[in-house]
Amino acid sequence: MLGNVISRWIMVWILCVPMMSFAADLESGKPNARIPEPAFEFQPVVEGTKVVHDFVIQNRGEAPLDILKMESG
């Protein structure tokens, strides 16, 4: 019985908290960056070879999203 109550509470928490957070971001008038693929691992390449990968950055907020700095890892 207690296990069911706890698992239901956890399920409500998992489902509702991200929605509330997302809704709060939209209402605040701030940018909200979403990166569907935040990492990409290149296959081995010969040294000196140019490799390219495009990362998609979505702005789900209401204000413009300014990218001020980028770094590779």
What does the mean pLDDT of the chain come to? 74
For residue 71, tell me if it sits in a domain: no
User: Is it the case that residue 31 has pLDDT exceeding 70?
Assistant: yes
Residue 6 lies in a domain: yes
7 pLDDT more than 80: no
Does the residue 65 lie in any domain?
Answer: no
Output the pLDDT for position 65: 93
Q: Quickly list DSSP for 1-67.
A: -HHHHHHHHHHHHHHHHHHHHHHHHHHTT---EE-SS----PPP--TT-----PPP-EE-SSS----
- Whether 66 maps to a domain, the answer reads no
Residue 30 covered by a domain: yes
Q: pTM (2 decimals)?
A: 0.48
Containing domain of residue 45, as a range? 2-59
Q: What is the pLDDT of residue 29?
A: 86
